[in-house]
Amino acid sequence: MTIHHGTVLNEGWRELAPAAALFHSLSDATRLGIVKRMAEGEIRVGDLAAELGLAQSTVSAHVACLRDCGLVEGRAQGRSVYYSLSRPELMDMLAQAEVLLAATGNAVSLCPNYGAGSGPELTNVEPTKEIAQ
């Protein structure tokens, strides 16, 4: 994907669709919590649900979204499936997001559409100062 500085041409917006889909897949706090946990190593959905304090069906749906986007993969072992991050570049991107948030003074938290209080909170995941790589 090439991002052009300046005005995006009418035809040019189509090339931004994959990036928009990627960011949309990561736009949910629960999915970010799942990614953060999977950065520590592979885990089963049931164990992940217990750690996050969420229903297994909820976590399963979020993991399916991340899997369908190619960001996580499953490894079958017996009757269990262990999920892990499939792309190390994901952690690099999230680390850069942390840098951007720090540089903007976390201004996005004040945004009325996307800031704090605008959506569901992920309460059982501890905040971090940096994303593990």
Tens digits of per-residue pLDDT, 23-56?
Answer: 999 999 999 999 999 999 999 999 999 999 999 9
Amino acid (one-letter) located at 127: P
SS3 assignment for the chain: CCCCCCCCCCCHHHHHHHHHHHHHHCCCHHHHHHHHHHCCCCEEHHHHHHHHCCCHHHHHHHHHHHHHCCCEEEEEECCEEEEEECCCHHHHHHHHHHHHHHHCCCHHHHCCCCCCCCCCCCCCCCCCCCCCC
Sole residue written with tokens 């991340």 = 66
**Per-residue model confidence as pLDDT tens digits over 70-128:** 999 999 999 999 999 999 899 999 999 999 888 887 787 777 777 765 555 544 444 43
Region 3-16 average pLDDT: 65
Residue with the bigger pLDDT between 10 and 19: it is 19
Let me know: does 16 contact 1? Beta carbons within 8 Å. Answer: yes
- The structural domains of the chain, ordered by start, are 12-110 (1.10.10.10)
